[in-house]
Amino acid sequence: AQSVAQPEDQVNVAEGNPLTVKCTYSVSGNPYLFWYVQYPNRGLQFLLKYITGDNLVKGSYGFEAEFNKSQTSFHLKKPSALVSDSALYFCAVRDGGSQGNLIFGKGTKLSVKP
Amino acid sequence: DARVTQTPRHKVTEMGQEVTMRCQPILGHNTVFWYRQTMMQGLELLAYFRNRAPLDDSGMPKDRFSAEMPDATLATLKIQPSEPRDSAVYFCASGSGIPLYNEQFFGPGTRLTVL
């Protein structure tokens, strides 16, 4: 069975500092990994994905994520946080052997203070 | 700017009433998903359609929920009868191409309150 874990309910960062939002996964086949962001009262928006290839994936709004197969992790990162990055972030995984369903983590609330 | 649209955006109803939520996927997308979001459970997949055919509705309470795609431009999620525990935000998402590789595009959601 596939699963994804986001160990932190909330991450607090000062504006201008680097941020990391953690995600670990478990799949039986090849992992296909995604990050989404949700702003208040909005639907989820796609940020970036890892399918294959380079372990460092770049996405929207200056975000990037690093795929680490040995640690089964896919942490989201940004070198310099903005107050406008404050939102709920979801990691999601698809199992290569599945129908294509996305399994979402519980979400991590990112709070960036000025 | 192509978007997934959902109606209504907000719905307040009384227990026992029928609720119908509608979704218009992005034109050309062949996969449609229904999710439910609550504080306690997070995001749960309710149903999944590809080319209008239901592929997975194992997350949906069958006795009261039903999901259909009457045509390629409309997906519906019905709850009959509704219960207070159904109160949640319901999202529709659509996608195209190979579902394994491609992202989903989410609508703004329908916030349902069952009194």
Structure confidence at residue A89 (pLDDT): 98
Six token digits for residue A40: 């208040």
Pairing relationship of beta strands A10-14 and A108-113 according to DSSP bridges: parallel
From A44, which residue of chain B is nearest by alpha-carbon distance?
B106
What are the CA-CA distances from residue A56 to residues A76, A80, A108, B9 (Å)? 10, 17, 21, 37
Q: Is the pLDDT of residue A47 over 90?
A: yes
Q: What share of chain A in percent tops pLDDT 70?
A: 95
Structure confidence at residue A101 (pLDDT): 75
Structure confidence at residue A1 (pLDDT): 75
Q: Is the pLDDT of residue A99 over 70?
A: no
Mean pLDDT of chain A: 92
Six token digits for residue A90: 């979801």
Indicate yes or no: CB of B103 within 8 angstroms of CB of A46: yes
Flag whether residue B25 sits within 8 Å of chain A, measured between CB atoms: no
Question: What band does A33 get if pLDDT is binned at 50, 70 and 90?
Answer: very high
- Least Cα separation, residue A42 to chain B (angstroms): 5
Q: Is the pLDDT of residue A109 over 70?
A: yes
Taking residues A33-61, report their average pLDDT: 93
Nearest CA among B29, B41, B31 for reference residue B90: B41
Question: Which secondary-structure segment (H or E) carries B34?
Answer: strand B31-38
- Over the stretch A61-74, which tens digit does the pLDDT of each residue have? 999 999 999 999 99
**What torsion do the CA atoms of A63, A66, A71, A72 make, to the nearest 10 degrees?**
70
Q: Is the pLDDT of residue A100 over 90?
A: no
Rg (CA), chain B: 13
From B31, which residue of chain A is nearest by alpha-carbon distance?
A100
Residue B93 and residue B106: Cα distance in Å, rounded?
4
Contact A74, A89 (CB under 8 A): no
Flag whether residue B108 sits within 8 Å of chain A, measured between CB atoms: yes
Contact A35, A65 (CB under 8 A): yes
Instruction: Render each residue's pLDDT in chain B as its tens digit; 115 residues.
Output: 789 999 999 999 999 999 999 999 999 999 999 999 998 888 999 998 989 998 888 889 889 999 999 999 999 999 999 999 999 999 999 998 776 678 899 999 999 999 9
Chain centre to alpha carbon of residue B103: 17
Residues of B in contact with A94 (CB under 8 A): 99-100
Residues of A in contact with B106 (CB under 8 A): 36, 43-45
Taking residues A89-99, report their average pLDDT: 79
